[in-house]
Amino acid sequence: MSPPDGARDVLVVLREELAAARAALREADSVDAEESGSAELARAVGRLRVTADALEVRIRGPFDAVLLDKAAASFRAAAATFDKLASVRREKFKVSDDVQRVLKRVVVHAREIGRMTQQGGAAHVGAAITSLSTPAAWSGPCLDALAGLVDTLQFLARRRLGEAAADDQVNSLVDRAASTAVVSCLHALKDLAGRVRNEPTVMKDRFQLDGALRAPALNLVDRLSAWFKLDDDGRKRLQSSIEGFIRRLLDRAAQGP
């Protein structure tokens, strides 16, 4: 049975919710089994996968409003539980030793590259970068993006080094990769800011900004992919984290200090 006209919009919404849930589940793969609360989150992940699969089957099958509503209700309940646990985990991770250790390196890089940017004549962008040279300045979207990058690098490091790897080995690889990523992103922003004197609109045009930073971002992904020996899935995960981090830096640069 084909869905009635009014139900087509409902199906579109449900497909969008499914897509968002699938993306969130992929990110949840990065959770270390030894983390506090990981067992409860793993159960929520399993429940969400089961209900998402059931809802997708119902969407693809013959239209039945009653069965569709039941499948959607189960899926949304599982998604709500998962979202709550994932949110708690993200907030804890942002203040974890792993993120704070990386942050200590990041503020040093921001101070130095901000100074270089200001000396190059791009005072506005240089001041914005320099404003990130204290841990307290990292909050909101910028800290979210940095924590997401560290989370991704930890997952990739554990997969690269294997289960037998000691924590200090994982941390060393994560620290080097995070420093490389942050320095590369900040230098790309510095180089872009240097164009302001000849192209005064470049920092105001988001399309130009995104395009100008695409090549440096891909070069960084290529470099780190070689370090971690990534497959296509790992590369996509890394690229998403790096692009998210650069996007937050762009927002900060556009706003100023």
Global pTM reads: 0.81
Sign of the Cα pseudo-torsion (225, 226, 230, 232, in order): positive
Residues 174 and 102: beta-carbon distance below 8 Å: yes
Q: Is 6 a residue whose pLDDT tops 90?
A: no
- Give the chain's radius of gyration (CA, Å): 21
Q: What is the pLDDT of residue 119?
A: 81
Report pLDDT digits (tens) over 21-44: 998 888 787 777 667 778 899 999
Counting residues of the chain whose pLDDT is more than 70, the rounded percentage is: 86
Q: What is the pLDDT of residue 205?
A: 65
The DSSP H or E segment spanning 75 is helix 65-94
Taking the C-alpha atoms of residue 76 and residue 257, their distance in angstroms, rounded to an integer, is 40
Residues 63 and 2: beta-carbon distance below 8 Å: yes
Ranked by mean pLDDT, the top range of 24-33, 139-148, 208-217 is: 139-148
CB neighbours (10 Å) of residue 252? 21
Report pLDDT digits (tens) over 85-122: 999 998 999 999 999 999 999 999 999 998 888 887 66
For the chain, domain boundaries: 5-91, 95-255
Q: What is the pLDDT of residue 77?
A: 97
